Structure 1
Amino acid sequence: MIDNDQLAKIVHMTAPNGDRATRTLRGLYRVDEGSEGLRARIEELCGEVDEAIAEGASFIVLSDRDTTKDLAPIPSLLMLSAVHHHLIRSETRMKVGLVVEAGDVREVHHVALLVGYGASAVNPYLAMETCEDLVRSGVLTGVTPESAVRNVISALGKGVLKIMSKMGISTIASYAGAQAFEAVGLAQGFIDEYFTGTTSKLGGVGLEVIADENRSRHEVAYPADAAVRAHERLQTGGEYQWRRDGSPHLFNPETVFRLQHSTRNRRYDVFREYTSLVDSQAEELATLRGMFALRTGMRRPVPIEEVESVESIVKRFSTGAMSYGSISKEAHETLAIAMNRLGAKSNTGEGGEDLDRLLDPERRSAIKQVASGRFGVTSMYLTHADDIQIKLAQGAKPGEGGQLPPTKVYPWVARTRHATAGVGLISPPPHHDIYSIEDLKQLIFDLKRANPGARIHVKLVSQSGIGAVAAGTAKALADVILVSGHDGGTGASPLNSLKHAGTPWELGLAETQQTLMLNGMRDRVVVQVDGQLKTGRDVVIGALLGAEEFGFATAPLVVEGCVMMRVCHLDTCPVGVATQNPELRKRFTGKPEFVVNFFEFIAQEVREYLAELGYRTLDEIIGRRELLDVDRALQHWKASGLDLTPVLVGPDFSESEARRNSRAQDHELESHFDNELIRRASGPRGRRPGRGRAAGEEHRARRRHDARPPRDPSPRRPGTARGVDRRDADRQRGAVVRCVPAERHPPAPRGRLQRLRRQGALGGQIIVRPSREAGFAAERNVIAGNVIGYGATQGSMFIRGIVGERFLVRNSGATAVVEGVGDHALEYMTGGLALILGATGRNLGAGMSGGTAYVLDLAEAKVNREALASGEIELHELGSADHEIVRDLLEQHVEHTDSAVAAALLVDGDAAFARFTKVLPRDYAAVLRTRQSAVDEGLDPDGDVVWSRILEVTGG
């Protein structure tokens, strides 16, 4: 991103021989010549670029400035990509850098596309000049025109970095020209010529339609009678929020009113008016499914009385993963109560769940999301789940981590999430967790052992290639595969992701269904779909494309009272839905009865469609894509080039081929070694091992779990579980793992032995040391593997020796002592305490937002450099209070592991403490200081006065 001054420097650069090194070319064409004029000008432009390169130009500026009534600008992306691919075909692309000077660039996605299709720099001149005008006219205050421009450039640049990071790309050189995009609705011939290599599964419009739409916009800018219309204001747009004269939205004042009125007064007739409005707008090409018609004449209709009941159909429904914190306690619990009454399922999201709700069958959420393995994910949380959902992708923002801004991390939210009030929470992109199908299989394995009675979900997002991922997920023994659509964004998705990330669920669902059937695995898994489902017709189309279960998120929130203000991230929701502010929450008017009415109405409408189609159950139509017709839709002028074969036709399957789930996955629960560990851990207490199936009824850990502390919390007393030789299990010769009750922490689920592998410390105490016969120096050897303590929420670990990479990643409450760590230690940590008595790998503390670490002889170069440079991580010397903490941990480490390193440090005393560095996230440190000062003043550390101070010091 460059401003006008930077562009001017590039334009006036000279070559060593004194010639001008930069050529500026105008991407304008005669608008009255239509698509032929546009095509001809693109060809001319490519020729001018070739000529400039031959004359020695090092930079080409592609500009759309100087438009007139007769000359319209070529869309900047089309202009750039056409030149970029022309130069690739001419084998001269590496000779020049392409700079784009464009007035149609105003969003992060626009910049990302230009860079992704070859731009070396982008100058969004009109966006910057607009900001300058807003400041000078008084619309924007508190900034100068120059700072406003800098803010625009900074915001767009950060947005592109966010896109790169969620795609796993670390340098702009790798992203530039990578074309990491998929086209929806562009003709294959057009793609091949101007966007060569881009995926476009459905075909669509070509240069003719693009020229027509460009002409329409140009005529608005240059009206025939300019004098008459000169006083008119610019169009309001309405791309993201509904505007009366803006773009159409399926949720608008008319549909929202009817939906809320019908569900609050149990008026099914008004509900049908709502669905009729939504479906009719969808049919105007607002959605891909809106293009489909139902073939109602293929079978004789059946009486509605013979169709599957409402009570049966609603059990297929669930609410979306909206976490506590993103929406209010009242909104979250209302959804859970309603779904429990229906026998359906609500989803916690990744924000955890309060203990009193976990134990309340009326208010608990049946689906517990684990997402990135933190934010309240405890053993009790897992064992009180009917479904456990792994968020491999994030619906409306695929690849992107969730984010809760500091203003919404109130004290009560922080307690539930095992975080710090006033410190923003970031759930990192999923690729930071799952690197392969093998890793996913291991996580499914672990979760199934944590709760054998729960179904394990994997949430995928609709995009090209989802079928292969779904097949691998089924092989990894997932019980449910959720295909999530690109739209939605409940609870404050970034605006850039609402429109530009992922593809419609119709595409992903069709590909998933076909791939699973081709591989003979469709009968092993349940397929679920979600993404702006609003009507019974949406459910029926989802079923015809292969889904058995259906998720709703935005619509139930609207039923509760949401008015689509799009201010979720600001904590200013005026109706108390997406806020934690106690005063705004008082305005919440939703009731479980309203949500119950909504889902029963949806089910009733599904019944009516089934009767009309001639079927008695929803199971009968799953995967019956032959019941969909698109002939009417393809008559639309913008849809005539679409090829819906990938969705509606696909491979041929025999009638005997399974189209839906009919058998359970074989998780081999009975044969797993956990059963023996549970038996051995149960015996010393005098309790009988659990009876019945390992995967059965009341799973043993759940039966023995309670929230009370142990009677004797002393760490001096040996644990009830005997020391276990893990030579075979961990492949680490001579390592002994011992579990004992944890000091100052709630226990592990009673009767269960903690397993030291990946998702580890959920409470209790883990001790790892060499056996006395091992005969090696532990502090110089790796004694445990990667990702130790992942997502730990409580408990403690004492490890005599070095561990692998990503130690304590996402730790939110555990205390750990270790004698050396690999790369990426303490990554995304939000709480807890780490004492590292040895060397660290690189990138320590990346994404760390809470907790404290004491590191011996820390090399500053090993700390995440971006966090250090920005001040997000602070390095301190130890104070007297820190001395006491470190001394106590060293003494415990010696007692539990006979550590020679810890013993030597204790002998050295104050000299040893001088060798330690305290690593503390900036905002966490600010919160600690604020709370301490509040305590000194006699204030409530969680009170309103302290809360307001916390927000001030953390920038909230």
Structure 2
Amino acid sequence: MKLVSEIGVGTVAAGVAKAKADHVTIAGFEGGTGASPLTSIKHAGSPWEIGLAETQQTLVLNGLRSRIAVQVDGGLRTGRDVLVGALLGADEFGFATAPLIAVGCIMMRKCHLNTCPVGIATQDPVLRKLFSGAPEHVINYFFFMAEEVREYMAALGFTKLEELIGRSEILDKSEAIDHWKARGLDFSRIFHKPQVGPEVSLSNTERQDHELEEVLDRKFIELSKDALENRKPVKLDLPIKNIDRTAGAMLSGEVATRYGHKGLSEDTIWITLRGSAGQSFGAWLAHGVTLDLIGEGNDYVGKGLSGGRIIVRPPEEAKIVPEESIIVGNTVLYGAITGECYFHGVAGERFGVRNSGALAVVEGTGDHGCEYMTGGVVVVLGGTGRNFAAGMSGGVAYVLDEAGDFEQRCNMAMVDLEPIPAEEQFNAQDQHQINDMESHGLVDLTDMTKDDEKRLRQLIQNHLHYTGSKRARQILENWGEYLPKFIKVMPVEYRRALEEMAEAQAAEDTGLAELEVGMPDAK
């Protein structure tokens, strides 16, 4: 769990520890990706020293420190930073900017624009040739830093870093506190060391029992043996609670162990679940597994989705209006690579972040939708939050813009907005195929620069089929009215790459590529 260094972070860290997290990271305000707005880098959060000190003191006073590892990051550069972090209570230390500088980063802060001048944060083949870094540069950096840490430890009389963790009384702070610039400031709370007995640990010293033998996936695996061993279809109907986290992950591991990434045949294992799912519902779900949740999901639904299908819909007796109600939490489809998701309701923030190949239909999103997306298709049948498509370099999104203000909510740095034209080739045969769900509602992804109407309608039809969405039915029944209100979000560089690939393929198919070899340039 990563927490921003700010006032009250210790209380949050204590809650995280009580929830049996093994690891918590305190992130200081000095770090941050080069894609972050400068205002966020300069003004959001507080120094890591303040957040780390509060976290350490709170965990120690509540007897929770031994069960959780505390990491700190946010502008760490030198061995001295590591020593100070350890003395304030950190077990581990995160580095990002400094190692990047070691391999040639010049901090142009344009990582999200695909124009990195030193070839690090770019997919442009011309710019990538400018990369001059090497693994040895990072190795040398960490060797020198470790050597500096050893020198400081020797000067203090310690041989193991573990002996320094939480020993804030060792910090030599008198010179800084007595400095005239520090007059009137009270640092006692930062350097305070809780007075506890010898039985209370100041660092992470024990492993927690997560009771993995009792998790819901064990039941999934046991009841799906026929499918796992003999590939025979299995249908289950079970309850789920919000303490059941990463439901489907261990089952998917069993599928992958036996059949690899290819998985099982479509819908071999269909599990209907009723209730409120815990975090990371359907994480890494394998091909051939369908999770049909009648209830609601938490954060990180479909994290790392790997070919499975996730359906989340409210109970029929629910009094809510689905298209106006949250059905899944934040950061849905984080890092998904393939598969399908259908959400009969609204998602939270960062929907589809880092999605690289999954298909998803949702009826509204919060802020930062499709952030850093590199592939796949997302359909939004409702409103979005601000900063949609920030850092989106691949894939396609279709957004229903009934209010006409989507352009103001979209981050236009890397994408173009296009209307979806009615296609004359979208004939009766295509319509018949869409209505035929026995074809499993297959979506054509061969050329993302065309066939938008066909693709969009197929996905909405799938959404109606799996969720019974009244919103989807209304759109399909009034297709001519709603189609002009959809906007296609297309990354500029993605379109260029697809067009270049299509031209190269066409030249290869016609033999023109071979004919051009050796021909003089036209003057």
TM-score class, shorter: 0.5 to 0.7
| 2: CA distance, partners of 1:590 / 1:528 | 27
Kindly indicate whether residue 417 of structure 2 is the aligned counterpart of residue 851 of structure 1.
Answer: no
How many Å apart are 1:917 and its aligned residue?
1.5
Would the alpha carbon gap of residues 834 and 915 (structure 1) be closer, same or farther in structure 2, given more than 3 Å must change? farther
Kindly indicate whether residue 126 of structure 2 is the aligned counterpart of residue 589 of structure 1.
Answer: no
Query: What is residue 809 of structure 1 aligned with on the other side?
Result: 351
How many Å apart are 1:577 and its aligned residue?
3.6
Kindly indicate whether residue 418 of structure 2 is the aligned counterpart of residue 879 of structure 1.
Answer: no
Structure number, greater radius of gyration = 1
Contact 2:378 2:397 in 1 (8 A): yes
Kindly provide the CA deviation profile for residues 116-156 of structure 1, in whole angstroms up to 9, marking residues without a partner as x: xxxxxxxxxxxxxxxxxxxxxxxxxxxxxxxxxxxxxxxxx
Percent identical: 39
How many Å apart are 1:687 and its aligned residue?
6.5
Would the alpha carbon gap of residues 903 and 635 (structure 1) be closer, same or farther in structure 2, given more than 3 Å must change? closer
Which of residues 23, 32, 56 is equivalent to 1:513?
Answer: 56
3-state SS of paired residue (1:602): helix
One-letter code aligned to 2:338 = Q
How many Å apart are 1:769 and its aligned residue?
9.1
Which of residues 320, 332, 348 is equivalent to 1:790?
Answer: 332
3-state SS of paired residue (2:213): helix
One-letter code aligned to 1:634 = I
Aligned 1:537-936 pairs, distance under 5 A: 537-564=80-107, 573-649=116-192, 651-686=194-229, 701-702=252-253, 704-705=255-256, 708-709=261-262, 719-721=267-269, 723-727=270-274, 748-749=285-286, 754=291, 756=293, 757-758=297-298, 759-761=300-302, 762=305, 763-766=307-310, 786-787=327-328, 790-791=332-333, 793-797=337-341, 802-804=344-346, 809-810=351-352, 812=355, 813-815=357-359, 821=363, 827-828=369-370, 830=373, 832-833=376-377, 843-844=383-384, 847-849=387-389, 851-853=396-398, 860-861=402-403, 864=406, 866-867=408-409, 875-876=419-420, 878-880=422-424, 888-892=433-437, 913-917=479-483, 921=487, 923-924=489-490
| 2: CA distance, partners of 1:902 / 1:537 | 58
| 1: CA distance, partners of 2:28 / 2:70 | 13
How many Å apart are 1:659 and its aligned residue?
0.5
Query: What is residue 522 of structure 1 aligned with on the other side?
Result: 65
3-state SS of paired residue (2:182): coil
How many Å apart are 1:567 and its aligned residue?
6.0
How many Å apart are 1:920 and its aligned residue?
5.1
3-state SS of paired residue (2:94): strand
Contact 1:678 1:751 in 2 (8 A): no
Kindly provide the CA deviation profile for residues 345-394 of structure 1, in whole angstroms up to 9, marking residues without a partner as x: xxxxxxxxxxxxxxxxxxxxxxxxxxxxxxxxxxxxxxxxxxxxxxxxxx
| 1: CA distance, partners of 2:103 / 2:472 | 60
Kindly indicate whether residue 2 of structure 2 is the aligned counterpart of residue 480 of structure 1.
Answer: no
Kindly provide the CA deviation profile for residues 166-190 of structure 1, in whole angstroms up to 9, marking residues without a partner as x: xxxxxxxxxxxxxxxxxxxxxxxxx
How many Å apart are 1:510 and its aligned residue?
0.8
One-letter code aligned to 1:924 = M
Contact 1:765 1:797 in 2 (8 A): yes
One-letter code aligned to 1:539 = V
| 2: CA distance, partners of 1:903 / 1:573 | 42
Would the alpha carbon gap of residues 704 and 659 (structure 1) be closer, same or farther in structure 2, given more than 3 Å must change? same
How many Å apart are 1:547 and its aligned residue?
0.7
3-state SS of paired residue (2:174): coil
Contact 2:263 2:286 in 1 (8 A): no
How many Å apart are 1:466 and its aligned residue?
1.6
After TM superposition, the score normalised by the length of structure 1 is 0.39
How many Å apart are 1:517 and its aligned residue?
1.1
Gaps of 5+ in 2: 232-244, 390-394, 438-460, 508-523
How many Å apart are 1:521 and its aligned residue?
1.0
3-state SS of paired residue (1:924): strand
Gaps of 5+ in 1: 1-457, 689-693, 731-738, 740-746, 942-956
| 2: CA distance, partners of 1:913 / 1:520 | 60
Would the alpha carbon gap of residues 748 and 566 (structure 1) be closer, same or farther in structure 2, given more than 3 Å must change? closer
What's the C-alpha RMSD, in Å, of the aligned pairs? 4.9
3-state SS of paired residue (1:634): helix
| 2: CA distance, partners of 1:808 / 1:563 | 29
Would the alpha carbon gap of residues 569 and 867 (structure 1) be closer, same or farther in structure 2, given more than 3 Å must change? closer
Would the alpha carbon gap of residues 507 and 867 (structure 1) be closer, same or farther in structure 2, given more than 3 Å must change? closer
Contact 2:66 2:206 in 1 (8 A): yes
Would the alpha carbon gap of residues 473 and 727 (structure 1) be closer, same or farther in structure 2, given more than 3 Å must change? closer
Kindly provide the CA deviation profile for residues 775-826 of structure 1, in whole angstroms up to 9, marking residues without a partner as x: x9999989x9702893254323568xx54555993274444568xx467599
| 2: CA distance, partners of 1:903 / 1:468 | 43
After TM superposition, the score normalised by the length of structure 2 is 0.67
| 2: CA distance, partners of 1:503 / 1:781 | 39
Contact 2:69 2:203 in 1 (8 A): yes
| 2: CA distance, partners of 1:532 / 1:684 | 50
How many Å apart are 1:602 and its aligned residue?
2.3
3-state SS of paired residue (1:880): coil
Contact 2:66 2:203 in 1 (8 A): yes
Contact 2:338 2:359 in 1 (8 A): yes
3-state SS of paired residue (1:510): helix
How many Å apart are 1:900 and its aligned residue?
11
| 1: CA distance, partners of 2:36 / 2:314 | 48
Would the alpha carbon gap of residues 931 and 916 (structure 1) be closer, same or farther in structure 2, given more than 3 Å must change? farther
Give the number of equivalent residue pairs: 438
Contact 1:817 1:889 in 2 (8 A): no
3-state SS of paired residue (1:726): strand
Kindly indicate whether residue 49 of structure 2 is the aligned counterpart of residue 502 of structure 1.
Answer: no
How many Å apart are 1:936 and its aligned residue?
7.3
Which piece of structure 1 moves more, 599-608 or 572-581?
572-581
Contact 2:14 2:64 in 1 (8 A): yes
One-letter code aligned to 2:309 = Q
Would the alpha carbon gap of residues 499 and 790 (structure 1) be closer, same or farther in structure 2, given more than 3 Å must change? closer
One-letter code aligned to 2:145 = I
| 1: CA distance, partners of 2:46 / 2:367 | 35
How many Å apart are 1:854 and its aligned residue?
8.1
Query: What is residue 63 of structure 1 aligned with on the other side?
Result: none
How many Å apart are 1:729 and its aligned residue?
6.4
Query: What is residue 413 of structure 1 aligned with on the other side?
Result: none
One-letter code aligned to 1:726 = L
3-state SS of paired residue (2:14): helix
| Relative contact order, higher structure (CA 8 A, sep 6+) | 1
How many Å apart are 1:872 and its aligned residue?
7.0
| 1: CA distance, partners of 2:202 / 2:467 | 60
How many Å apart are 1:918 and its aligned residue?
5.4
3-state SS of paired residue (2:204): coil
How many Å apart are 1:901 and its aligned residue?
8.0
